[in-house]
Amino acid sequence: MPDRDLFVGIDLGTSGARAIVIDGDGRVHGTAKAAMSDFGSNHRAPAIWWQAAEAALGGALEGVERARVRAVAVDGTSGTMVPVDPRGVPLSDGLMYNDACPDNAVLEAIARHAPASSAAHGPTSGLARAILFQRLRPAAILHQADWIAFNLSGRFVSDANNALKTGYDPVSAEWPRWIAETGLDISLLPPVSEPGMPAGPITADAAAAFGLPSDTLLMAGTTDGCASFLATGASEAGDGVSALGTTLTIKILSDKPIFAPEYGIYSHRILGKWLAGGASNSGGAALLAHFTAEEMTALTPEIDPETDTGLDYYPLPKPGERFPVADPLLAPRTDPRPESRAEFLKALFEGVAGVEALAFRRLAELGAPPLRSVRSVGGGAQNPVWTRIRERRLGVRMEAPQSSEAAFGAALLAKAGAGA
């Protein structure tokens, strides 16, 4: 019966893997995680990625009616890549999402040929990693999620989200011709599907190893960031998600793509819509420049979130901002300072909330739909006083996220792709 179907999401993070099994109503039936350090110290080793994913998946399936599992989807860290031979065996360690390309000639070639709106620019470009890996004469160059998916399906296939930083054009849905002009053989890049589209059944070996039905489908996956967005339950155009951690990341579901590289804004195609957003340097680090976490916890009860200080702060940990203001020299604005430490903290809370509100307004100016709701994740989202201040500034309802786990978002992607 369709209402008894189960769906699996696997998330590869920077330090481990997590797997979650859900049903058609989003109820969790099993979850497990595994640290990469349990299998070795080299977090760039694909074999360790797989061992962690294998352990997490096996753990999540413990006690689950495995015959009910219908589909699996995988998310991985955006831009992490690995070269493989024709059998899918890695030819080297992977290059991680934050590994900068050391070859300026590669970066210059991309800068000359990539459109300004492409996400392939910059020292941590996925395309730069692919060009470096081409020197090893691989049969294919895969993203981290692609390679984990290969171990389940035996197919080289990618998704439009992971492929974005490698130069994929999600609007025309193709690897564009200009990639060849950078010196990369495009045939080394895998076919790309929209996230959630069926890539085919898992292999007989994978079905036997995990006790899954032979017709279990492997769905095209996504990045960890996109999976985290889906996990919150945001699903309609105008739904926003703010990740309030060390920095402030803003994303919104849109009915059309938004590309504004001057603000670091790109758009992912996902589930028939576009996910657009950018990252501000404001956020938790800007507060920690003035208060310890313990001080903020102690002072929060003294703050009235229903009134305003009247101070106009723009908190930053150091000069420089890209979104929602594009100014590499923008100075932090945290003056004048009230005598009360609680009042100062409140003004900082208001300042970050103001940056968040400006970010959503900037997205609207660039073509995003009107903001209809916001879900918050990250450490700052746990402070109810700060949340109320932000809610007043945003002027929309703040909804509780369905989950904060990227693996849950990958499971929702598997469910959506299966039509459940």
CATH code, 304: 3.30.420.40
Phi, psi dihedral angles at 415 (to 5 degrees): -65, -45
Q: What is the Cα–Cα distance from 299 to 146, expressed in whole angstroms?
A: 46
Indicate whether 1 pLDDT > 70.
Answer: no
What total of structural domains would you count in the chain? 2
Give how far Cα 118 sits from Cα of 153, 181, 249, 323, 381, Å.
Answer: 30, 15, 20, 17, 31
Burial class (CB in 10 A: 0-12, 13-18, 19+), 397: exposed
Confidence class for position 254, pLDDT limits 50, 70, 90: very high
248/204 same-domain check: no
pLDDT tens readout for residues 362-405: 999 999 999 999 999 999 999 999 999 999 999 998 999 999 99
12/56 same-domain check: yes
204/245 same-domain check: no
Q: Is 306 helix (H, G, I), strand (E, B) or coil?
A: coil
- Cβ–Cβ contacts within 10 Å for residue 322, how many? 18
174/249 same-domain check: no
Q: Which domain holds residue 312?
A: 237-399
Burial class (CB in 10 A: 0-12, 13-18, 19+), 366: middle
Average pLDDT value for residue range 208-219: 97
Q: What is the pLDDT of residue 317?
A: 96
**Proportion of the chain above pLDDT 90, given as a percent:** 96
Q: What is the pLDDT of residue 2?
A: 53
97, part of any domain: yes
Indicate whether 327 pLDDT > 90.
Answer: yes
Average pLDDT value for residue range 294-320: 97
Q: What is the pLDDT of residue 158?
A: 98
82/161 same-domain check: yes
Q: What is the Cα–Cα distance from 333 to 348, expressed in whole angstroms?
A: 10
Q: What is the pLDDT of residue 167?
A: 97
231, part of any domain: no
170/280 same-domain check: no
Confidence class for position 268, pLDDT limits 50, 70, 90: very high
232, part of any domain: no
Indicate whether 316 pLDDT > 70.
Answer: yes
- Cβ–Cβ contacts within 10 Å for residue 185, how many? 14
182/276 same-domain check: no
271/411 same-domain check: no
158/258 same-domain check: no
Average pLDDT value for residue range 19-34: 97
Average pLDDT value for residue range 153-162: 97
357/260 same-domain check: yes
222/269 same-domain check: no
Indicate whether 255 pLDDT > 70.
Answer: yes
Amino acid, res. 330: L
334, part of any domain: yes
Amino acid, res. 345: L
292/339 same-domain check: yes
Confidence class for position 419, pLDDT limits 50, 70, 90: confident
Indicate whether 287 pLDDT > 50.
Answer: yes
Indicate whether 226 pLDDT > 80.
Answer: yes
Q: What is the pLDDT of residue 4?
A: 85
